[in-house]
Amino acid sequence: MRYEKCGAYTVQPKRFNQMRTKLARVLISVTLLTFFFTPDRTNAASTAPTPVKIAIALEVGGLGDNSFNDAVVNAARAVQKKYKISDSYIRVVPTDGTPADRFSRLKFLAKAGYGLIIAIGADYAPAIKRATIEFPDVQYALVNSSAVAGMNVSCLVFAEAEAAFIAGVVAATSSTTGKVAYVSDASESQLRLYKSFKLGAAFGNKNVLTTSVPFTDSAINLKNAIANGVDLIYSTRLVDGEVLNLVAKANLKKRKVWLIAQSPDQYYAKLPTAKKEILVTLDKRIDHAITDVIMLALTGGSILGIVDEMESIYGRAYNFSNSGLNLSYLNPVTAATKTTVSRAIAQIKSGKVSTIG
User: Which residue type sits at 3?
Assistant: Y
What CATH number does the domain located at 160-283+326-350 have? 3.40.50.2300
Cα 12 to chain centroid, rounded: 23
- pLDDT, tens digit (0-9, with 9 covering 90-100), for 241-277: 999 999 999 999 878 999 999 999 999 998 999 999 9
Asked whether the beta carbons of 333 and 327 are under 8 A apart, the reply is no
String of DSSP letters for 89-113: GEEEE---S-HHHHHHHHHHHHHTT
**Which of 122-142 are b and which e, b meaning 16 or more Cβ less than 10 Å from the residue's Cβ?**
bbbbebbbbbbeebbebbbbb
Give start-end residues of each CATH 3.40.50.2300 domain in the chain: 2-158+286-318, 160-283+326-350
String of DSSP letters for 156-171: EEE-HHHHHHHHHHHH
Q: What is the pLDDT of residue 12?
A: 34
d(C-alpha 274, C-alpha 281), whole Å: 11
Q: Is 55 helix (H, G, I), strand (E, B) or coil?
A: strand
Ramachandran region, residue 219 (left: φ > 0; alpha: ψ -120 to 50; beta: rest):
alpha
Asked whether the beta carbons of 201 and 260 are under 8 A apart, the reply is no
pLDDT band at 300 (very low <50, low <70, confident <90, very high): confident
- pLDDT, tens digit (0-9, with 9 covering 90-100), for 192-237: 999 999 999 999 999 999 999 999 888 999 999 999 999 999 999 9
Q: What is the pLDDT of residue 347?
A: 98
Helices 286-298 and 68-83: crossing angle in degrees, nearest 10, is 40
d(C-alpha 247, C-alpha 111), whole Å: 49
The topology (CATH level 3) of 2-158+286-318 is: Rossmann fold (3.40.50)
**Does residue 36 register a pLDDT over 50?**
no
